Chains A and B, each alone.
With several copies, the nearest count.
Chain A
Amino acid sequence: MMKLLSQRLLGPVTLVLLALTFWLGLWVTPPDKVQGNLARLLYVHPAVAWVALYLSFGTATIASALYLWKRSRSVVMDRVAHCAMEVSLVFIILTLITGSIWGRPAWGVWWAWDARLTSTAILGVFAVGYLALRRANDDFELQARRSAVVAILAAINVPIIHFSVQWWKTLHQGASVFTPGGNFKVHGIMLTTLFISLAAFTLLFFWLLRERYRVEVLREERQRVSLDEALAQRRREGVH
């Protein structure tokens, strides 16, 4: 019952929250004193980054670990990992795009050699590598195992990359740009909007993941139909 309800409601609630975020972000919240309307990216960029880095990559990693673990080794886990990684790649790209759009007027450049930017790009390449590996081999089992290992290997790099942010900064001052407190005066309404955006994008992630998963299952079902055909055809090869 609960399950059914949540299934029904996930999509609509996500849409409502997203609409609310945009309404609050575009019309209700005031423009920033320094950055003007540009600061409205605050309601998109951090939320997108949160989904990309932690939510979807994390889901993919946990699902992969569960797949490798003998007792829970199931196709479901492999599928979840695969789908979450795809969603993650999309959100990483969105993070890079929104960040770049923000960076161009804010810092005058599209890209800076900041640890956070670099680490985000690196994570993106990890995701691409993962997806590339998935198409590199015919053997389904091998594929699943290898990509699960890649996801886990990628995940140990996340903390390393994460900590290197601080170390890098302490060594190279001036590269740090992420000081929202300095650039924004976070009013109550802005903070609320920020949180709503986080919630909205979180739900969006789950929604996308579920849809992607459904598509994957459908694809596999279609494959199974063509598979029966292939089996019949192969068997016919024997009879002359």
Chain B
Amino acid sequence: MIRTAWLVAVKDLRIEQRSRVLLWQVLPFGVMALVLSGLALGPTHAGHSSAGPGLFYLVMLLVALLMINRSQVIEGSPGTRASVATLGLDPAGVFLGKALALAVELWLTGLVLLGGAVLVLHTALAGTLSALPSVVVTLGALAAAGTLYGALTGGGQGPVTLLPVLSLPAFAPLLIAGERSFSAALHGGALWRWWLISLVALVAYLGIGILLYGVLEES
């Protein structure tokens, strides 16, 4: 399982690195979206640093949608799926590998956007740093859940637009938990409780993925 996971993760990251989608497309999109949502709210709302965590997670969510989509697109045409299916890879390993690759990409993007939040949305630097562990866990959970939902909607080229509908309700609690613990880190408060929720979600999604990913694969 671990070997398969590693193989798949390396393959996904290599394709990503070759196409440079992360660097040239996803990151600028994230920065842009951060600035724009600030704009959309007008100076009264966005100026407050209290909106920072919420906006950060909102943007991360949008970025995650893009990347989940991409993580399915690189699985290629139906023909590719058919032949890869005949390799008989362990589905649990495939799930872990894809989730890992996605998590790595989300962590990189998150790091950059946290910097952006400090600069643009005036979130306090110290608080942001102390929120880091919770951000890592939350984004990890997002990656695990996203990989599951990606497999659900992947395959044909039709249902790509289905991904947001299916996954957004699942991401909502993650969003809330992340936002809360980030806010708590900024303004003091029960950081650990929210952090724990993200952790539970991460473990739950990983568990479900390992158990059920095989069921989802293209038949």
Answer yes or no: A and B touching, Cβ < 8 Å.
Answer: yes
Q: How many residues of B contact A (CB 8 A)?
A: 51
List B contacts of A157 (CB < 8 A): 169-170, 172-173
> Chain A interface secondary structure, helix, strand, loop or mixed?
helix
| Complex contacts, A100 vs chain B, CB 8 Å | 119
Give the contacting residue for B24; candidates A68, A123, A128; CB below 8 A. A128
Query: How far is A129 from B155 in the complex, measured between Cα atoms in Å?
Result: 17
Residues of B within 8 A of A118 (CB): 35, 38-39, 172
Q: Number of A interface residues, CB 8 Å? A: 43
User: Do A128 and B28 touch (CB < 8 A)?
Assistant: yes
Let me know if B166 and A156 touch, CB within 8 A: no
Main secondary structure of the interface of B (DSSP, over half): helix
Interface status of B43 (Cβ within 8 A of chain A): yes
CB distance from B22 to the nearest CB of A (A): 11
Distance (Å) between the CB of B196 and the closest chain A CB?
11
How far, in angstroms, from A137 to B24 measured CA to CA in the complex? 13
List residues of chain B with CB under 8 Å of any chain A CB.
20, 24-25, 28, 31-32, 35, 38-39, 42-44, 46-47, 118-122, 145, 148-149, 152-153, 155-156, 158-159, 162, 165-166, 168-170, 172-173, 176-177, 180, 189, 193-194, 197, 201, 204, 208, 212, 215-216, 218-219
What are 5 residue pairs bridging A and B, where the CB atoms are less than 8 Å apart in the complex? A111-B120, A111-B122, A126-B170, A149-B212, A168-B176
Given A125-B169, A128-B24, 14 further pairs, Cβ under 8 A: A111-B119, A111-B120, A118-B39, A121-B31, A126-B166, A128-B165, A129-B165, A133-B162, A136-B158, A137-B155, A157-B169, A161-B172, A167-B194, A168-B176
Q: 9 tightest CB-CB pairs across the interface, nearest first?
A: A113-B43, A132-B24, A129-B166, A160-B173, A136-B159, A122-B169, A129-B165, A111-B120, A110-B119
